[in-house]
Amino acid sequence: MPFKQGKWRTGRLLLLAVMLLVVGLVTSGCVEGLQSIGWSGGAVSDGSLFVGSKEGRLVAVNLADESRQWAEPLKETGQTGGFLGSCAPAYGGGCGTGASGVAIYGTPVVYGDRVYIGGYNGKVYSYNVSSLQMDDVYPPEGYLEPIVGGGVAAQDTVYFGCSDGKVYALDAADLIWKWEFETGDKIWSTPAISDGALYIGSFDKKLYALNTADGSKVWEFETEGAIISTPLVHNGTVYIGSFDRHFYAVDTATGKQIWQFPAEEDEYRPDNWFWAEPVVYDNTIYAGCLDNKVYALRADTGAKVAEFDLGSPVSSSPVVVDGSIIFASRDGAVYAIDTGLGALKLLAEIGGEIYGPLSASEGVVYIHTQDLTMHRVSVTTGAVFRPISLESKD
Amino acid sequence: MINVLIVMAHYLGDNFGLAIIALTIIVNLLMLQLTLKQIRSTKAMQELQPRLSELQQKYSKDRQKLAQEQMRLYKESGVKPAGCAITMIIQFPVWIALYRAVMLSLAAAPEGLLNLSKYLYSWPVLYAALPLSQDFLGMNLADPNLILAILVGATMWLQQKMSMTTPTDPKQRQQSQMMLWMMPLLFAFLALSFPSGLSLYWAATSIVRIILQYQVTGWGGIAREAGKETEKDKKYVKFVGQAERKSTDEVGADIVVTSDEQQRRDQGLGYPEKPSKMRYLPGKDRTRHRRKK
């Protein structure tokens, strides 16, 4: 076809090429996994379930009548930019994801008459359990780096890890700083406390044991990969999975390795990271892995008892309900592992992506999916109850 | 490409910024032939500009004739006007793949890191290397950066300016000017919305193309605008000057002859009163024919 006006044709082609490029870049920039949305689990206390919603709000759900109460939205850092409303994940923005608030990743901590959450905006908040009125905030001025892990409370102190690599200990009454401990890299995991010691993993590939009174280091244990999983403390042993595709058992007193799975001589390797918190039942550790499997290991020796294939990565932490270990895979399937028979049973398929930890109360498992919905499944019957929307009406 | 990027970062001292630059250079080297083809095509278009302008002036009232002459000129010179645009479109999937690799490997958000796990091969080095450090020259590659955004716009402008042709037609010139400023401004604005790791990739790509462009065309459009003469420009100016200074009897310019006029000359029918385009071969005595009239 002859070019009647070659220059005009070239110009139009170039313009079309530019537009295609921009559309391609913008749409591919706003792809799955590039925006911070949040995956808070639920904390059950006195008939209420507390969860951080994708709108950046603490929500209290009355489990009896399903009524909901919302706290005020968490405030963003104010450092948004660009006409896309900031695709920069650090600021909790998103490209048309539907999430408009500060992302909340950690499960709320209920302690006394307060509930605590950490936001991706780098602040820790405490609320009144009954009214959800915000009482205190840390830091009072400015912001820390994003907080991704959950917190833990004990002995009138709240403990959080932060992306600045530090563990913070705050007074539970007024969130006044008590001490902090700095690791070598970001902390995205939730700490665990037992017998006056706090255990936490860091991206610097180490598991730390700290004295809860003053934050002094008791010991550190080094792996070959980053640690994001929450440690499990049981019978004087800390169990932790790492990005190096190994699962470790470490002595709480000395910090020495007791065993690792797989063992050095084993040729078999899990195919991906250990991300979810493990659970223990009847001297058996159940550890979910991003290679779609749950590994059942003997707590004393690390020998593999069984492995269960869930068909999709396991990133949400499980719960133990009536002798069954309840796991959820990312594609929305909920499974129950019968510890007596050692069998895997599909409990329900709820149709939403599951990233965050599970919670349970009175035989019902609560699952927070990525679509502002809290799902409920009966462990006994597998019945799926009507989901509860966490979307506020404001 | 994601796995390659992560391995490179690991072996470059856990430096993701260096890995982005290195992979950008490697990908551009792999597409070198396409890129050079595009640059040479653009350069050839630039060299044709004066002759195209002559044709436009000569046939401004006859669009069909103009189109024919333009097409013949393109054919003779071997230039494809849409060639450079088509080459760019072919390269798009590679650029977008590299762009996605950078964005996914950066894993700035927790969802990004979780999502990244499904792209990993079973190479032990990958699992131990992640998550990548996001610090580079004092910047956090996960956050937007104003300096990098300005660098993206500036390098893109420079690269476009070097490769830009200068049309004589006012409408086309206006369109060129718009393109020259629109794309750099748009990308600089986009760079303020995305992690600076992506801006680093864009800036590195532009710098590589500037170097390649300079190798082929020199400073190109920048030199022309500044009034500096390149060797090729000098030659062309001389050529035009000599042609203008010569009398019509001595002109030896290439002029296309239509077939019917060639026939008339061959048949000794002389030339029409108003001479149309004719090809004069060196040595032919045109004066003799004129005297006859």
The domain boundary, picked from B194, B226, B258, lies at B226
| pLDDT level of residue B283 (50, 70, 90 thresholds) | low
**Residue B79 confidence (pLDDT):** 67
Query: Which residue among A6, A88, A275 sits closest to B74, beta carbon to beta carbon?
Result: A6
Cβ(B252)–Cβ(B272) below 8 Å? no
**Residue A392 confidence (pLDDT):** 87
SS3 A394: coil
B5 versus A78: which is more confidently predicted? B5
First to last CA, chain B: 75
Q: Are residues B270 and B174 in the same domain?
A: no
Query: Which residue among A24, A34, A290 sits closest to B96, beta carbon to beta carbon?
Result: A24
**Residue B66 confidence (pLDDT):** 81
Cβ(B93)–Cβ(A24) below 8 Å? no
Contact check, Cβ <8 Å, B67/A4:
yes
Q: Which H/E stretch holds residue A337? A: strand A333-338
Query: Which residue among A4, A9, A188 sits closest to B82, beta carbon to beta carbon?
Result: A9
- The mean predicted confidence, pLDDT, of chain A is 88
* Partner B contacted by A23 (CB < 8 A): no
What's the CA dihedral at A10, A14, A15, A19 to 10 degrees?
150
Q: Are residues B199 and B270 in the same domain?
A: no
**Residue A17 confidence (pLDDT):** 61
Instruction: Name the residue type at position B231.
Output: E
Q: Structural domain tally of chain B? A: 2
Contact check, Cβ <8 Å, A24/B92:
yes
Best of A13, A77, A185, A268 to disrupt the B interface by mutation (most B CBs within 10 Å)? A13
Both tokens of B173, joined, read 């010139």
Nearest residue of B to residue A82 by CA position?
B193
SS3 B118: helix
Best of B117, B141, B175 to disrupt the A interface by mutation (most A CBs within 10 Å)? B117
Asked, for residue B204, whether it belongs to a domain, the answer is: yes
- Separation between Cα atoms, residue B85 and residue A12, nearest integer Å: 9
Asked, for residue B178, whether it belongs to a domain, the answer is: yes
Best of B127, B147, B165, B180 to disrupt the A interface by mutation (most A CBs within 10 Å)? B127
Contact check, Cβ <8 Å, A11/B70:
no
Instruction: With CA atoms as reference, report the closest residue to A143 among A160, A126, A164.
Output: A164
Instruction: Write the pLDDT tens digit of every residue in B241-266.
Output: 444 444 454 444 445 444 555 555 55
Parent domain of B177: 2-226
Instruction: Write the pLDDT tens digit of every residue in B156-169.
Output: 899 888 877 666 66
**Nearest 5°: phi and psi at B250?**
-100, -5
DSSP characters for A157-189?
Answer: EEEEE-TTSEEEEEETTT--EEEEEE-SS---S
pLDDT more than 90, % of chain B? 9
**Residue B251 confidence (pLDDT):** 47
Specify whether domain A321-394 bears CATH 2.40.10.480.
Answer: yes
Q: Are residues B133 and B256 in the same domain?
A: no
Contact check, Cβ <8 Å, A272/B92:
no
User: Which residues of chain A does B172 touch, with a Cβ-Cβ cutoff of 8 Å?
Assistant: 7-8, 11
**Residue B278 confidence (pLDDT):** 52
**Residue B44 confidence (pLDDT):** 78
Distance of CA B272 to the CA centre of its chain: 44
Both tokens of A382, joined, read 């597998």
Largest CA distance in chain B: 93
Q: Are residues B171 and B92 in the same domain?
A: yes
- Residue A323 bridge partners (DSSP): none
Give me the residue spans of the domains in chain A.
321-394
Q: Are residues B192 and B270 in the same domain?
A: no
Contact check, Cβ <8 Å, B96/A313:
no
Instruction: Write the pLDDT tens digit of every residue in B181-194.
Output: 888 898 888 888 88
Per-residue pLDDT at B281 exceeds 70? no
Both tokens of B269, joined, read 């029918």
User: Which residues of chain A does B85 touch, with a Cβ-Cβ cutoff of 8 Å?
Assistant: 10, 13-14, 17
**Nearest 5°: phi and psi at B210?**
-65, -45
ipTM, interface predicted TM-score of the complex: 0.86
Nearest residue of A to residue B73 by CA position?
A6
Q: Are residues B221 and B259 in the same domain?
A: no
Asked, for residue B186, whether it belongs to a domain, the answer is: yes
- Residue A252 bridge partners (DSSP): none
Q: Are residues B164 and B215 in the same domain?
A: yes
Q: Are residues B93 and B146 in the same domain?
A: yes
Q: Which residues of chain A have pLDDT under 50?
A: 1-5, 79-99
Asked, for residue B238, whether it belongs to a domain, the answer is: no
* Partner B contacted by A39 (CB < 8 A): yes
Query: Which residue among B109, B172, B189 sits closest to A82, beta carbon to beta carbon?
Result: B189
User: Which residues of chain B does A23 touch, with a Cβ-Cβ cutoff of 8 Å?
Assistant: none
